[in-house]
Structure 1
Amino acid sequence: MNARYPGADSFDYVIIGSGAAGSVLANRLTEDGTTTVCVLEAGPPDRNPFIHIPAGFIKTLADPGVTWQFKTEPLEMTGGRRISTVQGRTLGGSSSVNGMIYNRGQPADLDNWAQRGNRGWGYADCLPYFRRSERRIGLGDEARRGRDGGIPVTDNDWIHPLSEAFIAGCVGLGIPRNPDYNSGDQAGVGYFQRAILNGRRVSAARGFLHPAMSRRNLNVRTNARASAILFEGRRAIGVRYQAARGAAPRTVLARREVIVSAGTVNTARLLQVSGIGPAELVERLGVPLVHALPGVGSNFRDHYASRFVMRAKPGVTTLNELSRGLRLGREIARWGLKRPSILATSPSHVHVFWKSFEGMDAPDLQCVFTPGSYAEGKVYVLDNYPGVTAGAWQHRPESTGWVRARSADVFEDPEINPNYLSAPMDRQVHLGGMRLLRRMLNTPELAPYLEAETLPGREVQRDDELLDFAKRNGSTTYHLIGTARMGPATDPGAVVDDRLLVHGMQGLRVVDASIMPNMPSANTYATTLMIAEKAADFIRGRMPAADAA
């Protein structure tokens, strides 16, 4: 018992956050049956039925009961708009509300991390941990794909003629069909792999946390928002948390480590309000400075996407029509019978990993296609006419921003500034992506189905016109990374070392997407699962999986 906190519960590890990373860690650290773990989740249990229906993301993303309704600052390159950067706030975190896409990215992403001085983070080092976390159901190289992990990764089983025509058109443009973009060779076009099984979303909570919750050595506390990490000197010893603003604070102690897995925004904010971060910011917040780390909250990156919409010809049936009336009733019945249905699809159906300009060695763009379209200016409201959507974003944006706490009150949203498209190279790649979208939507294979471009419209042609459209209509892809960047102690912007321990601190580790030094050429979910699997071996003192193999 700690004399400063009489009556406080004590565990070996306290994990802040039950998202992708927190769920994996909770499972792995309690496998031995003796190590005690407490997980603090700011949101409620994952009982909302829309969490488990894949198409339910349309409901959950707008529901403050299960999400953090974060918004960016108004930015020049967003036309003064504040962009919604919603994150999950329930068991499973964002894995309970995301698009369920499983995408590892390119091996070069991780080799770049290792080249920055992060030992053991090259692709060959990380591949065993990708394999450990997934249960691939379908085609896959046994040396590269996992078959026994907590997250089932399945192929799209709802195939639409427009998706087939789009893929055929891309092949006609010289983009090869790729049967497994997670094999290490990403380039090409095909259907996304996703974390859906038997018509239901499988979040990190369902895949990792819930199976471990029957263990007596795991304690999960929901509606427990961490308000401060507690220290003795520079050693983290526990966490203070609250159920609601004004509620009496409670304390839980950690005998070995406090592990912050709160997500890119909340991790940065929590470290700052706990006294770890840029000295001038911590002073402005009015909290005692525990350790000056200027990189906390900086290096913030996100993918910024522009989407083109085309109206389909009369008589063509798209998701817009299937989501209404009797047709929707039939889709619900099919879902109930565990048959392919629009209710069991991810938001994006087709992927294209390709190049913004000819002559490049590897793809620098991710493009997506869906046989449906959303009304202009509305959040996930389908058009009242048949339509399709294709979007594009840059794999590795150079633009960086920051996350800064506005006050020591964790019930006040922080300042979020991703500086979208501020780097000149990002604008050039974005233009290349938009022009590629036009080429892919105007192939002979799609011509029998589509009649007109409605967004941005064929009159928008010049570079300045296209960038103006991107400013007025572009949006996040919810891939937030980098605010607690991994790097050696010689890197003045690094926050954690290559074992994810916070520089200059003891008993404090960060395990989530905030540690990524650079953006992977992918959605961030799969990489975050891998990071947590690798961190679990660090914490347990196990040999790296690559060495043990």
Structure 2
Amino acid sequence: MTVNEKFDYIIVGAGSAGCVLANRLTEDPDVSVLLLETGGSDKSIFIQMPTALSIPMNTKKYAWQFHSEPEPYLNNREMHCPRGKVLGGSSSINGMVYVRGHARDFDEWQEHGAEGWDYQNCLPYFKKAEDWAFGADEYRSKGGPLAVNNGNNMQNPLYKAFIKAGVDAGYMETSDYNGFQQEGFGAMHMTVKNGVRWSAANAYLRPAMSRPNLAIKTGVQVSKVLLEDKQAIGVELYEKNNIARFFVNKEVLLSAGSIGSPHILQLSGIGNNETLSAAGIETQHELPGVGENLQDHLEFYFQYQCKKPLTLNSKLGPLSKLAIGVRWILFKTGLGATNHFESCGFIRSKEGVEWPDLQYHFLPAAIRYDGKSAFEGHGFQLHIGHNKPKSRGWVKVKSSDPFTSPQIQFNYLQHQDDIEAFRACVRLSREIIAQPAMDEYRGQEIQPGKDIVTDEQIDAFVRDAVESAYHPCGSCRMGAEDDDMAVIDSQMRVRGLQGLRVIDSSVFPTIPNGNLNAPTIMVAERAADIIKHQNLPRAEVDVYKDPQWQQRQRSGEAKRSTSC
């Protein structure tokens, strides 16, 4: 065993949160930081070229290829759950979609005991992180590390047709869903800069790598947090089959994600006594909420044939891919410089829902998100999912061996409200695509298929067709001091221990209405200030909410109604 030098802080995980922390903490030249990552370099064309997004997420070199236990409410399917294993973490393998979430998502966090994490306190940290291509206002910011733009400006006419179809169906158009009004249809935003994926590694870590007070170790597997009398004093890890220990002067910061962070806590003897005992691990600190409250977004692909030959399906052949790649390598422009999700929608599933709970990504192609299969011919699809699920799952350590993956159970569609929301996904999507704006493009319905109309038929389709949107969170949730199932307090400190914080998407009390990279980076920005005993002034801005949300599902009437 090797015993190594001390650092002020050790950060476990160089993902979306860990990269932020490494940058912000080492801004002080007197603070020393060790950043630990199991994966390696992100210097790959398949990571840096936005259009290649399906490759790194399905590559063992760059992603943990986790699978859930058989999901009892999804016909016992074992659901794929890739998580980043590379510098940048999941921000290096994700779809690059930039969605903060609705303001009420963060007010909800505070309502669940995360004191001071309401929207007005979070907004300044979204702004601190951001470099928005179209300028600053009350909600958006220029000059931050994280570049955000809208891709190729919706050059394909299908993107704008989808937005118009949403308006035709009686929904609002929004000029900025990350600003005053999330609800409605509009352009989608992505973390891309000058045609390159702008991961947390590119945005935060790379500018800090030359600092003498930052040490980075890749290719290491953390096996436990070292505790001494309820105080975290360092970490133990494996490096090239050798065990090493590193120690801290101040704190250990776990940023290993919603699967990794609870697993490391449990390997350290921190968690539910029964779970630890079953894995042969001695309990060091009883904390029953570790690994519980796991949440995720599900989605399916609503696919149509397209009557005009203008979709990406014609660009999937080897010669077309070569041409796209060459143009990107030479100029960082063209179809290689976008994730292709350039329009979107956020709507409410029914009247009485206060803020949007359904999300659309529009794609001018009919293909799986993981790139494994495509429709032969021209097609387009909606990625549609319910973003405020009530079903809850867990992460449980299986063995004291840190190389043994934990058990993961999401319990997708366990709650009846989630089932009913997916029925709304099918029926509302069909109505939107049936609007006049889509007449010149809309061909036959490929999936689910026009015969899928009853509740029973829709439920059966959903159980077979839904996939994870790859947004796990909540497994080390933040909560009030008197909440026995809370893992951390509002200062990100593990309850009952000293010198140990968790800072990543696992701390979310509830899942936001949107993709998770933006709120994860916001949480890390704020956590860095908390550690440094700093705080940005609270915002005071208005946010749109339908004044008649209790009586209506949308603000207008559809030009064309459908029967199912």
TM over 0.5: yes
Letter in 2 for 1:344: A
Query: Deviations for 1:26-60, whole angstroms, at most 9, x for unmatched residues?
Result: 00000011100000001111122211000121211
Contact 1:156–1:194, Cα closer than 8 Å, also in 2:
yes
- 1:167-186, aligned counterparts within 5 Å? 167-186=163-182
> Partner residue of 1:386?
378
> Partner residue of 1:89?
85
The structure 1 residue matched to 2:309, chosen from 297, 316, 319, is 316
Separation of aligned partners in 1, 2:178 and 2:392: 27
Secondary structure (helix, strand or coil) at the match of 2:438 reads coil
Contact 1:482–1:516, Cα closer than 8 Å, also in 2:
yes
Which stretches in structure 2 are left out of the alignment for 5+ residues?
A: 540-564
Q: How far off is 1:230 after superposition?
A: 0.6
> Partner residue of 2:449?
457
Contact 1:224–1:242, Cα closer than 8 Å, also in 2:
yes
Q: How far off is 1:410 after superposition?
A: 2.0
Aligned: 1:150 with 2:145: yes
Deviating more after overlay: 346-355 vs 430-439: 346-355
Letter in 2 for 1:127: L
Cα 1:6–1:373, aligned 2, differ >3 Å: closer, same or farther?
closer
Contact 2:163–2:344, Cα closer than 8 Å, also in 1:
no
Contact 2:151–2:337, Cα closer than 8 Å, also in 1:
no
> Partner residue of 2:227?
231
The structure 1 residue matched to 2:273, chosen from 240, 254, 279, is 279
> Partner residue of 2:107?
111
Contact 1:99–1:347, Cα closer than 8 Å, also in 2:
no
Secondary structure (helix, strand or coil) at the match of 2:53 reads helix
Query: Deviations for 1:347-392, whole angstroms, at most 9, x for unmatched residues?
Result: 533211012124644222111210001169x754332211111121
The structure 2 residue matched to 1:473, chosen from 457, 460, 465, is 465
> Partner residue of 1:365?
358
Secondary structure (helix, strand or coil) at the match of 1:69 reads strand
Contact 1:190–1:350, Cα closer than 8 Å, also in 2:
yes
Query: Deviations for 1:38-88, whole angstroms, at most 9, x for unmatched residues?
Result: 000011111222110001212111110010001111113222211111011
Q: How far off is 1:334 after superposition?
A: 3.9
Cα 1:461–1:543, aligned 2, differ >3 Å: closer, same or farther?
closer
Secondary structure (helix, strand or coil) at the match of 1:249 reads strand
- 1:189-228, aligned counterparts within 5 Å? 189-228=185-224
Separation of aligned partners in 2, 1:436 and 1:417: 29
Cα 1:240–1:174, aligned 2, differ >3 Å: closer, same or farther?
same
Contact 2:49–2:328, Cα closer than 8 Å, also in 1:
no
Separation of aligned partners in 1, 2:42 and 2:196: 13
> Partner residue of 1:17?
13
> Partner residue of 2:477?
485
> Partner residue of 1:299?
293
Normalised by the length of structure 2, the TM-score is 0.92
Contact 1:138–1:155, Cα closer than 8 Å, also in 2:
no
> Partner residue of 2:160?
164
Contact 1:316–1:449, Cα closer than 8 Å, also in 2:
no
Contact 2:266–2:397, Cα closer than 8 Å, also in 1:
yes
> Partner residue of 1:406?
398
Separation of aligned partners in 2, 1:139 and 1:381: 39
Separation of aligned partners in 1, 2:21 and 2:521: 9
Q: How far off is 1:294 after superposition?
A: 0.4
Letter in 2 for 1:145: R
Letter in 1 for 2:250: R
> Partner residue of 2:415?
423
Separation of aligned partners in 1, 2:54 and 2:537: 38
The structure 1 residue matched to 2:518, chosen from 500, 503, 526, is 526
Deviating more after overlay: 105-114 vs 380-389: 380-389
Contact 2:288–2:485, Cα closer than 8 Å, also in 1:
yes
Q: How far off is 1:337 after superposition?
A: 5.0
Q: How far off is 1:288 after superposition?
A: 2.1
Contact 1:365–1:393, Cα closer than 8 Å, also in 2:
yes
The structure 2 residue matched to 1:546, chosen from 515, 520, 538, is 538
Contact 1:308–1:389, Cα closer than 8 Å, also in 2:
yes
- 1:30-69, aligned counterparts within 5 Å? 30-69=26-65
Separation of aligned partners in 1, 2:356 and 2:214: 43
Q: Matched residues, percent identical?
A: 36
Query: Deviations for 1:408-465, whole angstroms, at most 9, x for unmatched residues?
Result: 1121111111111110111111111121111122222212222201111111111111
Contact 1:300–1:403, Cα closer than 8 Å, also in 2:
yes
Q: How far off is 1:171 after superposition?
A: 1.2
Separation of aligned partners in 2, 1:118 and 1:303: 22
Q: How far off is 1:543 after superposition?
A: 3.4
Q: How far off is 1:132 after superposition?
A: 0.5
Separation of aligned partners in 2, 1:337 and 1:449: 33
Contact 1:233–1:290, Cα closer than 8 Å, also in 2:
no
Separation of aligned partners in 2, 1:443 and 1:331: 33
Secondary structure (helix, strand or coil) at the match of 1:250 reads strand
Letter in 1 for 2:158: L
Contact 2:315–2:321, Cα closer than 8 Å, also in 1:
yes
Contact 2:151–2:340, Cα closer than 8 Å, also in 1:
no
Contact 1:78–1:420, Cα closer than 8 Å, also in 2:
yes
Give aligned pairs, total. 539
Contact 1:332–1:341, Cα closer than 8 Å, also in 2:
no
> Partner residue of 1:126?
122
Deviating more after overlay: 329-338 vs 66-75: 329-338
Deviating more after overlay: 532-541 vs 6-15: 6-15
Secondary structure (helix, strand or coil) at the match of 1:466 reads helix
Letter in 1 for 2:68: T
Normalised by the length of structure 1, the TM-score is 0.95
Contact 2:156–2:310, Cα closer than 8 Å, also in 1:
no
Contact 1:263–1:514, Cα closer than 8 Å, also in 2:
yes
Separation of aligned partners in 2, 1:375 and 1:236: 44
- 1:495-506, aligned counterparts within 5 Å? 495-506=487-498
Cα 1:326–1:49, aligned 2, differ >3 Å: closer, same or farther?
closer
Separation of aligned partners in 2, 1:517 and 1:390: 28
Contact 1:139–1:180, Cα closer than 8 Å, also in 2:
no
Cα 1:19–1:311, aligned 2, differ >3 Å: closer, same or farther?
same
Separation of aligned partners in 2, 1:356 and 1:451: 25
> Partner residue of 1:252?
246
Aligned: 1:268 with 2:262: yes
Query: Deviations for 1:216-267, whole angstroms, at most 9, x for unmatched residues?
Result: 00000001111111111211111111135xx111111111000000000010
Separation of aligned partners in 1, 2:368 and 2:146: 33
RMSD: 1.8
Separation of aligned partners in 2, 1:285 and 1:325: 48
Separation of aligned partners in 2, 1:70 and 1:545: 40
> Partner residue of 1:448?
440
Separation of aligned partners in 2, 1:145 and 1:227: 40
